[in-house]
Amino acid sequence: MIRSFREKRPIIAESAFISEAAYVVGDVEIGENSSVWPGAVIRADFGRVTIGENTAVEDNVTIHGGTTGKGSGHLFIGNNVHIGHGAVINCSSIGDRVLVGMNATLLHDAEIGRFCILGAGCLVGQGMKVPERSFVAGVPGIIKGAVTDEQLWWVEQAPEQYLEMARLYKKEGL
């Protein structure tokens, strides 16, 4: 379901796939070949949400634009990002080629650099700055080290697999 709020209607690239069971509302922009799967909620009522190209927002993810007052309220998610099932995204930014693990939570004003992996279930604390190529895990989330080339396989391959799956869903009118 795609809805306007306060005269702001989502802008969605024609090539993007938005499940009919997702809820996208307000000042949202979704780029080319991105996908939003069943149960996902993208709410841009407190602040704008921009999602880049080739980004997958898996089932039951919650993305909510806004801030604690320190930032602009604009939540920016880059290109080729993969957000796993059940994640909660309420941060300021996620750079390109990031994997957000299932059920991870990213709190207000956190900033995630490019080529990062956030482990399943981790909690990225309010205002945390995660440098490029970091692996974060745990509750609270701690930088465990640099992302290895082996781990980067997930960052590179997950978006590719979801691009094809989204094309198939669109083709079948789902």
Using an 8 Å Cβ cutoff, are 52 and 75 in contact? no
Query: Can you point out the beta strands (E) in 21-128?
Result: 23-30, 35-36, 41-51, 56-57, 62-64, 75-77, 82-83, 88-89, 93-94, 99-100, 105-106, 111-112, 117-118, 123-124
pTM of the predicted model as reported, rounded to 2 decimal places? 0.94
Using an 8 Å Cβ cutoff, are 32 and 12 in contact? no
Name the nearest CA neighbour of 101 among 67, 75, 134, 137: 137
Across 28-50, b (16+ Cβ under 10 Å) vs e yields: bbbbebbbbbebbbbbbeebbbb
Using an 8 Å Cβ cutoff, are 55 and 77 in contact? yes
Place of tokens 């990002």: 81
CATH number of 2-171: 2.160.10.10
* Average pLDDT in the chain: 94
Place of tokens 């390109």: 96
Higher pLDDT, 121 or 153: 121
* Spans of all domains in the chain: 2-171
What pLDDT score does 154 carry?
A: 82
Backbone angles phi, psi at 162, to 5 degrees: -75, -30
What's the rounded mean pLDDT across residues 126-145? 97
Q: Cα(9)–Cα(2) distance, rounded to whole angstroms? A: 8
What pLDDT score does 160 carry?
A: 81
